Structure formats: C-alpha cells, structure tokens
Amino acid sequence: MFEKQDLLDIARTPMPFGKYSGRPLIDLPEEYLLWFAKKGFPGGRLGHLMAMTLEVKIEGLEGLIKPLKV
C-alpha cells in the first residue's frame, strides 16, 4: 500500500546522481529502474522510492502520479 507522502515524493524527488540526475523519479525510464532492481537499489529512502516507482510503472499507474508533480 502506498502512503500519500510516498506518492508525492515519487512525483517530486529528483534523481540525485547518474545519467538521469535531476529528473523526478516518476520520469525515470522503466529500463533504468529494472537495472537497479537487478543490481540493487540504493539504501535508504531513495532506494525505497525507486522500488515503489518501478511498481507504479509496471502496474501502469503513472497517470496517478504525474498530476502530483510541481
């Protein structure tokens, strides 16, 4: 189950490093998130949000998140 704050954070948290640095997590390509799923998500809150973002994308629920972007 997703919490309201999790959904807001997925929409508004920028990726802090790498090829997609600065992009909101919801805008990361699914393939990029799948790569992290295989190699291991970062620790802490960022990894948790990235894993949830992948779930959202797999389930086709991006349309629920994108309106939350600032």
Is the predicted pLDDT of residue 36 greater than 90, yes or no?
Answer: yes
What share of the chain in percent tops pLDDT 70? 100
pLDDT of 70 reads: 78
**Could you give the CA distance from residue 10 to residue 27 in angstroms, rounded to a whole number?**
9
Q: What is the pLDDT of residues 44-63, one digit of tens each?
A: 999 999 999 999 999 999 99
Contact 15, 41 (CB under 8 A): no
Give the CA angle between residues 65, 70, 66 to the nearest 5°: 20
Is the predicted pLDDT of residue 37 greater than 80, yes or no?
Answer: yes
pLDDT of 6 reads: 95
Give the CA angle between residues 26, 28, 29 to the nearest 5°: 120
Mean pLDDT of the chain: 95
pLDDT of 66 reads: 87
